[in-house]
Chains A and B, each alone.
Chain A
Amino acid sequence: MEKLHNAVRQFKEKPWAAGVIAAIDRYTKKQQERRMLAVSHPFWVIVQKEISDHVRSWRFNVLLFLILLTCFGSLYTSITSLVDETRKAGDSDDPFFFLKLFTLSDGSLPPFHVFVGFLGPLLGIGLGFDAINSEQNSGTLSRIVAQPIHRDYLINAKFIAALTVIGVLFFALGFLVMGFGMFIIGIPPTVEEFFRIVCFLLLSILYVAFWLNLSVFLSIRFRQAATSALTAIAVWLFFTIFYQLIVNMVARALMPSEAALPQQLIGYQQFIMNLMRVIPSQLYTDATTTLLVPSVRSLGPLTMEQAYGAIPSPLPLGQSLLIVWPQLTGLIAATVVCFALSYVSFMRKEIRSR
């Protein structure tokens, strides 16, 4: 410590160093001055405040802790099973070795992308469920809309702020996992792997944005924050658990006989798949699997003719993206619909005090 201190002092005494330090000082002072005099657009003022509210809230920090924990848990399991995987050799020439960090699991904990698919909705709901009704209940809403701003600034800013927080969080997490992975297994990702991971992260953000918008909509619709939170969680549970059950029941009822034609069987299969794809979580799972496991070539049934002559190699990123394009569009559409609903209902709402 003493040594470091002395070194710093000696460094400071050098004339050129003193000059540099003074220049940096001047620069930061000037920047600060400019910041103090700058007039920001009210929209960004709201975004700023919302972000700082999120980051400082207990709720967000609890969620963050939960997600960090699961993230490292799944990283741990994937690395331990990665070791076994390499011992088995065989696919040591797998060009997408690094991606396995995100998809492998030894069974004790689900892999990273499944975890994100599970906790992402919770994060979205957590950031949005009291966006409007808590302001209404604390009496701040009527005060804010009486300021010279357009009303939609408020809802747009809330959405942008939450999305920014989510985006930063996911990119930080994804890159953190990548960094740790590189550090532990000693293999850097290829360019394609890197872009696949970036795509996966963007997709996850989109998925969380859907849940965020849904919960914002509920927060406008319901006056009590608890009601909107419960409703959002109910929707989430319905989609993750009960919807599958219902589809299974429908599938069993519609099951064609053993003697059915292959076309019928395929039609039936397709119908069930399409039923599953109504829900956003299925779209997300489909899309992430395709992105993170390049050997996935189709999300529906493949006939022998289609598979015939195909080279059993992983798909390039462009092709994988092409496969998930419908899923992506579906997710974007669902998000936009939710946002439009909340936008319209907020603009029409008459804002009275409490």
Chain B
Amino acid sequence: MNQSIIELESLTKKYGEFAAVDHLDLSIRKGEIFGLLGPNGAGKSTTILMMLGLTEPTSGRVKVCGIDSTIHPIDVKRRVGYLPDDVGFYEQLSGRENLLYTARLNRLSRREAEQRVDALLQRIGLKDASGKKAGKYSRGMRQRLGLADVLVKNPEVIILDEPTLGIDPIGVREFLDLIVALSREEQITVLLSSHHLHQVQQVCDRVGIFVAGKLLAQGNVVELSKALFSDKEPYLVEAAIEGALTPEMAETVKSQLLDLEGAVSVRIDKERIYIGGTQEVTAEVAHILVHAGVGLKHLNTREYGLDDIYTKYFEGGEVYGKTA
């Protein structure tokens, strides 16, 4: 299970002076669902293209299923299914014909192709629409057809580039569930690129955060928040109080709070107090505030989620006050 199926070694792609991907090291294990998370233009698609051998890296190496994608792209493409963002189909052909075409490009005989395509259409729930022209498919249907298209070749790895873009929330839910189910059933490794952090959070075993051509961090969400905030304050307590504090009162409360074991920073902002810390200190905060005679309205504890990680890295700096 621990053997890695995708390996990138200081992969770099430059367009002129601009480095779209900058010395990227990444390894993805067999059978896991990996989320590549980053804003638009971070170099996610370029990385994917290099994995498939569709574009040549300026330097560095890509190995997928133990095969170098730059030198043997055909062997890689035989094992890897790729769903581009905003996938398109031949509109004059039906959904089924489109899949049959892909199947036959993968050297299946007509008979095999028909059997596999029909099974897949059943699996993704497009059986009834299989005869309809692909041009008449809705966005969500097209995306599901795209998934079937990727699975036609019986891949070991599937790479999905922004697969949930433009689908309604229920469609997204179903689509992601389908991906998880497939990955678990068939032991397929999934690499999913997205800038929708919540969706990534829902389905991915591990996440890599990718900004401006660099991988900033990787791991599961808990690991990530630890890795990114361990030196600072992974926990944040927000206290709402009644009436603004007088300056002297604010000083005493602040010093008391800072004396707490695990509290690192305190910020008072009119009727709100933010306490950042390395430990869970909610109970102690409540105790101090009540003892100081402050009217406490409510207390709110928050762990850092991908949201904060995201904002922190993509916008930089201040994390406080981003949540209500």
Contacts and interface: CB of A to CB of B under 8 A. Distances in A.
Interface of A: 35-42, 45-46, 49, 53, 56-57, 138-140, 142-150, 350-354
Contacts of A41: 107
A49 B101 contact: yes
Contacts of B80: 146
B54 A42 contact: no
B86 A139 contact: yes
Given A140-B89, A146-B84, A148-B78, A353 B161 contact: yes
A41 B149 CA distance: 19
Given A37-B111, A45-B101, A45-B105, A147 B88 contact: no
B195 interface: no
Contacts of A146: 52, 54, 77, 80-82, 84
Contacts, number: 90
Interface in B74-118: 74-75, 77-78, 80-82, 84-92, 101-102, 104-111
Contacts of B74: 148-150
B49 interface: yes
A142 B84 contact: yes
B90 A140 contact: yes
Given A45-B101, A138-B88, A147 B106 contact: yes
Given A53-B92, A56-B92, A148-B153, A350 B49 contact: yes
Interface of B: 45, 49, 52, 54-55, 74-75, 77-78, 80-82, 84-92, 101-102, 104-111, 146, 149, 153, 161
Contacts of A56: 92
Nearest to A44: B104
Given A146-B84, A148-B78, A39 B149 contact: no
A35 B105 contact: no
A139 B81 CA distance: 16
Please name the 9 residue pairs, one residue from A and one from B, whose CB atoms are nearest each other, closest first. A139-B88, A353-B84, A146-B82, A148-B78, A138-B88, A148-B77, A142-B84, A36-B111, A147-B105
B102 A147 contact: yes
B92 A35 contact: no
A233 to B, nearest CB: 24
Contacts of B106: 42, 147-148
Contact of A35 (B77, B104, B110): B110
A280 to B, nearest CB: 32
A352 B149 contact: no
A153 B92 CA distance: 22
Which of A41, A140, A350 gathers the greatest number of chain B CB atoms within 10 Å? A140
B240 to A, nearest CB: 47
B69 to A, nearest CB: 12
B92 A38 contact: no
29 contacts: A37-B109, A37-B111, A38-B110, A42-B104, A42-B106, A42-B107, A45-B104, A45-B105, A57-B92, A138-B88, A139-B86, A139-B87, A139-B89, A140-B88, A140-B90, A142-B54, A146-B52, A146-B54, A146-B77, A146-B81, A146-B82, A147-B153, A148-B77, A148-B105, A148-B153, A149-B74, A352-B45, A353-B45, A354-B88
